[in-house]
Amino acid sequence: MSKRPVPCTCLRSATSSKYSELDKIIELYKNKEGSLIQILHLAQEIYGHLPLELQQYIADSLDIPLSEVSGVITFYSFFSTKPRGEHTIRVCLGTACYVRGGKKIIERLSEILGVGLGETTKDGRFTFEIARCIGACGLAPAMMIDNVVYKQVNVNKLESILARY
């Protein structure tokens, strides 16, 4: 009846330095119910994406099933399980931008970047996505890189825009 009082720590000890930033966040939210999304949110901010290994670490720290963590991650499109580029390009394909040639921008961008929609460039600089209306219909066609909106884009402007990053 005499045993070590510690639960399994194999994962934790192997990767403690790697996830030390996350540990602080988990410590903060650990005993609050319903804080998983918040933790995932912050974790993605720190590490860029949420790979299986990180999901396991979070599941282990919070003592909840891994399938629950991955269930939440795969439910929300904001969470990504694949590495993301340094910058995220979102080309608007809302009605106005669609009509004013959003599709051509996408075609040209994917030529320049060499990747398709939802993918990340090989050098890890850009993740290429579409957005459904960013509320800039008067400036169509529009696109966003990170938090900056580019208005009335056309295919000839693209290279000079990308050159800024």
Partner 1 sequence: MISLTINGKRCTVDEDLTILEAAKLNGINIPHLCWLEGVHEFGSCRICVVEVEGARTLQASCITKVSEGMVVHTNSEKVRKARKVLYELLLSDHSKDCLSCKRNQSCELQELGRTLGIEETRFNGARSDYVLDSSVSITRDMSKCILCRRCVTVCNEIQGVGVLNAQNRGFQTVISPAMDLPIGSVNCAYCGQCTVVCPVGALKETDSIQDVWNAINDKKKRVVVQVAPAVRVAIGEEFGYEPGERVTGKLASALRALGFDDVFDTNFAADLTILEEGTELLTRVKRALTGKGAVLPMITSCSPGWIKYIEHTFPDELDHLSTCKSPHTMMGALVKSYYAKKIKVDPKDIFVVSIMPCTAKKTEIKRAEMKNDGYQNVDAVLTTRELAAMIKEAGIIFTELEDGKFDDPLGMSTGAADIFGVTGGVMEAALRTVYEMVTGRELPFEGLHVTPITGLEQVKEAGILIENPLPYYSFLDGVEIRVAVTSGLKGADQLMKDVAAGRSPYHFIEVMGCPGGCITGGGQPRSKDPQVRIKRLKGIYSEDESKALRKSHENPYITMLYDEFLGAPNSHLAHELLHTTYVRRGRFNELCNERFTVKGGIRKPRVAVSRASLSEDKNRTQVARMREDMESIRVLALEAENTRLKSELDDTLETMELFKKVISDYIGKHK
- Report the interface residues with partner 1, using CB under 8 A: 1-8, 10-11, 52, 55-56, 59-60, 64-71, 74-77, 81
- Nearer of residues 71 and 118 to partner 1, judged by Cβ: 71
**What Å distances lie between residue 118 and 69, 70, 81, 129, 131, CA to CA?**
22, 19, 12, 5, 11
- Nearer of residues 44 and 144 to partner 1, judged by Cβ: 44
CB of 66 to partner 1, least distance (A): 4
d(CA 100, CA 98): 6
CB of 5 to partner 1, least distance (A): 5
- Nearer of residues 74 and 95 to partner 1, judged by Cβ: 74
Residue 126 is inside which H or E element, if any?
Answer: strand 126-131
CB of 92 to partner 1, least distance (A): 18
d(CA 76, CA 80): 9
Q: How are beta strands 126-131 and 87-92 bridged, if at all?
A: parallel
CB of 141 to partner 1, least distance (A): 14
- Nearer of residues 60 and 86 to partner 1, judged by Cβ: 60
The answer to whether residues 133 and 115 touch, using CB atoms and an 8 Å cutoff, is no
